[in-house]
Amino acid sequence: MTSHNDNDTLDAPMEVGGKDKTMSVNNRIDIALTAKMNGSDRIDIIGPPGPFPLGVDTHAWQFHFKLNDTTGKGVRFTTLDAEDYSNTCPPAVTSNKSKLIVGEQVDPDDPTKARFTDNNNNDAKAGVVNVSFQWHFDCDDPSIKHIDTYDPVVPNGGRT
């Protein structure tokens, strides 16, 4: 299971706020994720599907993620993959290859929190740049065979 439907179109942007537990204030987007058991050896990561469109000339945006681990397995953020000019979820790269998404960090004191900055500074005249990203997770229980990733798209409006 993935966190969203890969057939979702970018024409249907994420509604900020509401049932998907996403909040946007002062160029900060807070995204709540939940880790849930799926059988005895799989963990699903549930969160808002995106996309998270950033408007033209709205400057950089801070994305803050908080994971609610309902499994009791110590699920935590580990690494981020990201790729510019990508509509593919997950991105086709490993690690952060984006020039727009920078400064990714898992909180060293609380690895259920992570963040990054999306610079949103591409040339708006050239059109929207879609950035695909994917957070990876692990846990304390070696019997877990699979933990989902979280992998939406951020359409960047850029700057004029």
Listed by start position, the domains of the chain span 18-156
* pLDDT tens per residue, range 65-93: 999 999 999 999 999 999 999 988 899 99
Q: Write out pLDDT tens, residues 24-44.
A: 678 999 999 999 999 999 999
**pTM, whole model, 2 decimals?**
0.86
What is the C-alpha separation between 21 and 52, in angstroms, rounded? Answer: 13
pLDDT digits (tens, 9 = 90+) for 107-149: 999 999 999 999 999 999 999 999 999 999 999 999 999 999 9
Q: Which CATH architecture has domain 18-156?
A: Sandwich (2.60)
